[in-house]
Structure 1
Amino acid sequence: MSTRTTTAAVIGGGIAGPVTAAALRLAGIDAHVYEAYPARADGVGGTLALAPNGQAALEIIGAKDALAAIGEPIHRMDMLVASRKRFVIPAVPDQGPLLSLHRADLFRVLSDRAEELGVAFEYGKRLVDVREGPDSVTAVFADGTEATADVLIGADGVHSAVRALIDPANPGPKYTGMLSFESISPFEPDLDPGVMTFAFGKRGYYLYWRLPEGGTRWGVNMPSPKPLSFKEIRQRSNEDWMVRLLDVYGDDAPGGELLRRTPPNTLQASGSLHLMPPVPTWHRGRMALVGDAVHAPSNSSGQGASLAIESAIELARCLRDIPDPSAAFVTYESLRRKRVESIAAAAAKTNSVKAPGRLAQTIMPIIMPLFIKTAMNPEKTIAPIQRHRIPWEASAA
């Protein structure tokens, strides 16, 4: 029985999928991506931040420069509490800035790079089942087609079909209690471009930063008792959503003014926000999970995309260096689980104060300096995250 991995079927063509496939190609493994959507998701998705560790990981697959060309550097991050108290979040001095970019642009760059490396993409391939053999695994798609490879990698996001096939007892995503919207307002607060502000308003959390070309991009995490699908969100008009947003943020400064000056037709819904609780089973046999399918932290972490990229490359490194796929997956999990779960746990604490009540509003300006000094200490808490580098040239065995 042959155990060396030479082919891989990657399920999911978002962010983790193309990175996994590109890294596998660099590792000498023929990778093929199967995406459920009928075409490339160009233009879909909101804005995200790519941290220095994520940027460094993308350098391994040769995509860093292309992203630097389209990303907007964020040189400083502040916290604003109750529209009146501003605190500067300490930065790690030897790390470069975060990059703010549209998810669609990141997807395009990563997919283009994977294709340059010889990765093939197929669309309209919704996974419904798998068949496992002694030395291969076969993906079964809803259209009746199949694909067989040495290994199958689930990079299919928080609603992963592969996760349940690996272990039906694995948990599904947890709704955070928030919906995400964003847009660009012509209103410009008195801040330089490149300063991102995380604002804790009276009834909800929002963030904003001025753009070099003019205007201010803003995003909100609006409290909502139940998650809504994109179809349900689109059943309301943008004008209706703006009324709801102003009801939550209208009394905040500058949040209210940012929203009031935003044309409703430019409002973009990113959807319900979910995170993954710890997943007990990351892999089984010749199948493994990567990215949001196995670790989706709250967006409070600023690390969702970066961790997905890291894990994708680390997984390829393990399959390159460890002939037995099962053993490779064990090593992969040992290298990644502690890191991603500790970052997710820290972000969950921040998530819990995104909609502070009156008492929290009163005490937050008092406790925030202590929170920043301890939970956001640049050397103790931020630096180990941002300085992390994958030793691609070293053997994972």
Structure 2
Amino acid sequence: MGVARILVIGGGIAGTAAALALHKAGFESSVHEAHPGSAEDLGAFLTLASNGMRALAQIDASDAVRAVGFPLTSMRVLDDAGAELAQVPLGEAADSLLQYRCLRRGDLNAALQTEAARRGIVIRHGARLASVQDGPDGVTAHFTDGSTATGDLLIGADGLNSTVRRQIAPDAQPCYAGQRVFYGYTRAAARSEPDARITMVRGSTAAFGHAVSPDGETYWFARVAGEPLPADEIADGSPAGWRELLVPLLRKDATPAADIVAATGDDVMVTNATEIPAGTPWRSGRTLLVGDAAHAASPVTGQGASMALEDAVVLAKSLRDAPDTETALRLYEELRRPRVEHNITVSGNISRGVHSPSPAARGTAVPRPGDDELVRLLEWGVDVWTRSG
């Protein structure tokens, strides 16, 4: 079956990046986003690693993303007594195009969507998916407002609680990965970091990280082991309540963490670290999952967004280069599954305390399948089917 029209369900990082990559590869795609704005989860921040920035460069979206957030070029690691364990360059720090970037998720979504609109890609907001109907001549998305859209292929990029995934793999449920994750911002904390450095703290009761933006705002996160927070408790919780929970834990250590959290006002949020079990089906007929809908992982390794950006490039190139769509989807899965499921496993093990996160503590990246060949795989001019270029 040939592919002329592609429906992308979800206008977050994975979906919008996929649309940008598909557009560059010559395909017609439209993005259908349930939320009326740029996307959900606007408050939390993330880091794009060098591999994610490399993927952005291949779809000509570097400038759009580098206009928001700030670079991170080094990482310092502290123990619970505040002693320095390591200080190392972060990723490809010497290349300004590939430097790690720290930014709010909502800002990244907005930047990608603005770039997509600039290229003429249709993004429909307020389109909440109800069901998917796969047929011999195409796939139809049915939305809750009664509207429909039909294409030759449907990409489910609708996140952790994916409606598309429930159609493909109804028994696959997101799992708690062993930690509660807190995020916050403050301008009131004493500035303890130089520009472009992130400090990671291996605390006795929590893992903590913080970086300071060029304009003096401290971005921080804390990961705390324990039972998952109930959904109603997360929804009803207050910033003051989260601070009261965190600060006493962090005060047990001689690190800057407690003072940073104590200086934070209302910009505090919390979520449960969650993952999609390895082996979850990604495709059925004319439907394929990408990003968190397919392979969400605990945020420990900080690779969720970067993996989604890699997905976008590899999917577009697979559809461009393989002889037919079925072969392309199989190739995509063969190229992506070992890498992203390794990330799920490593992140989940660290979250659950199954083993010591010694590579991260030393300031080195956790190696993933495909790391050695990733540069070539992402390079737009290289054919992923023949590996020539």
Deviations 1:88-112 (A, max 9, x none): 2544566653111111111111111
Return 5+ residue gaps in structure 2 as ranges. Answer: none
Going from structure 1 to structure 2, the CA distance change for 1:396 and 1:326 (only over 3 Å counts) comes to same
- The one-letter amino acid of 1:131's match is Q
| Greater Cα offset, 217-226 or 305-314 | 217-226
* Matched residue, 1:49: 47
Q: For residue 188 of structure 1, report the CA deviation from its aligned partner.
A: 2.7
Deviations 1:57-98 (A, max 9, x none): 111221102222323111211222213332225445666531
- The one-letter amino acid of 1:205's match is A
* Matched residue, 1:343: 343
Q: Give 3-state SS (helix, strand or coil) of 2:60's partner.
A: coil
Written as runs of structure 1 = structure 2, the 5 A alignment for 1:1-397 is 3-41=1-39, 44-88=42-86, 90-91=88-89, 96-188=98-190, 190-229=192-231, 232-252=233-253, 253-262=255-264, 264-265=265-266, 267-353=267-353, 371-372=358-359, 377=364, 381=367, 385=371, 388-389=374-375, 390-397=378-385
| Greater Cα offset, 66-75 or 167-176 | 167-176
In 2, the alpha carbon distance for the partners of 1:316 and 1:308 equals 13
> Quick check: which one's helix share is greater?
1
In 2, the alpha carbon distance for the partners of 1:26 and 1:8 equals 13
Q: For residue 351 of structure 1, report the CA deviation from its aligned partner.
A: 2.1
Q: For residue 249 of structure 1, report the CA deviation from its aligned partner.
A: 1.8
In 1, the alpha carbon distance for the partners of 2:372 and 2:51 equals 5
Q: For residue 43 of structure 1, report the CA deviation from its aligned partner.
A: 8.2
- The one-letter amino acid of 1:4's match is G
Pairwise CA RMSD: 2.7
In 2, the alpha carbon distance for the partners of 1:338 and 1:86 equals 34
Contact 1:183 1:268 in 2 (8 A): yes
Deviations 1:343-376 (A, max 9, x none): 332223332349xxxxx9xxx8xxx8xx349986
- The one-letter amino acid of 1:156's match is D
In 2, the alpha carbon distance for the partners of 1:244 and 1:17 equals 35
In 2, the alpha carbon distance for the partners of 1:42 and 1:296 equals 16
* Matched residue, 1:357: none
Going from structure 1 to structure 2, the CA distance change for 1:199 and 1:377 (only over 3 Å counts) comes to closer
Deviations 1:111-134 (A, max 9, x none): 111112221111222222111111
| Greater Cα offset, 197-206 or 148-157 | 197-206
| Greater Cα offset, 199-208 or 246-255 | 246-255
Return 5+ residue gaps in structure 1 as ranges. Answer: 355-359
Going from structure 1 to structure 2, the CA distance change for 1:382 and 1:151 (only over 3 Å counts) comes to closer
In 2, the alpha carbon distance for the partners of 1:176 and 1:117 equals 41
- The one-letter amino acid of 1:37's match is H
In 2, the alpha carbon distance for the partners of 1:187 and 1:332 equals 45
In 2, the alpha carbon distance for the partners of 1:374 and 1:69 equals 30
Q: Give 3-state SS (helix, strand or coil) of 1:178's partner.
A: strand
Moved over 6 A (4+): none
Going from structure 1 to structure 2, the CA distance change for 1:228 and 1:183 (only over 3 Å counts) comes to farther
Q: For residue 143 of structure 1, report the CA deviation from its aligned partner.
A: 1.6
Q: For residue 189 of structure 1, report the CA deviation from its aligned partner.
A: 5.3
Q: For residue 185 of structure 1, report the CA deviation from its aligned partner.
A: 4.5
How many residues are aligned here? 378
In 2, the alpha carbon distance for the partners of 1:163 and 1:43 equals 19
Contact 2:33 2:39 in 1 (8 A): no
* TM-score (ref. length: structure 1): 0.86
In 2, the alpha carbon distance for the partners of 1:22 and 1:344 equals 26
State, as a whole percentage, how many aligned pairs show the same letter.
32
- The one-letter amino acid of 1:135's match is D
- The one-letter amino acid of 1:396's match is V
Q: Give 3-state SS (helix, strand or coil) of 1:349's partner.
A: helix
Q: For residue 48 of structure 1, report the CA deviation from its aligned partner.
A: 0.6
In 2, the alpha carbon distance for the partners of 1:70 and 1:127 equals 30
Q: For residue 236 of structure 1, report the CA deviation from its aligned partner.
A: 2.8
Going from structure 1 to structure 2, the CA distance change for 1:386 and 1:52 (only over 3 Å counts) comes to farther
Contact 1:155 1:291 in 2 (8 A): yes
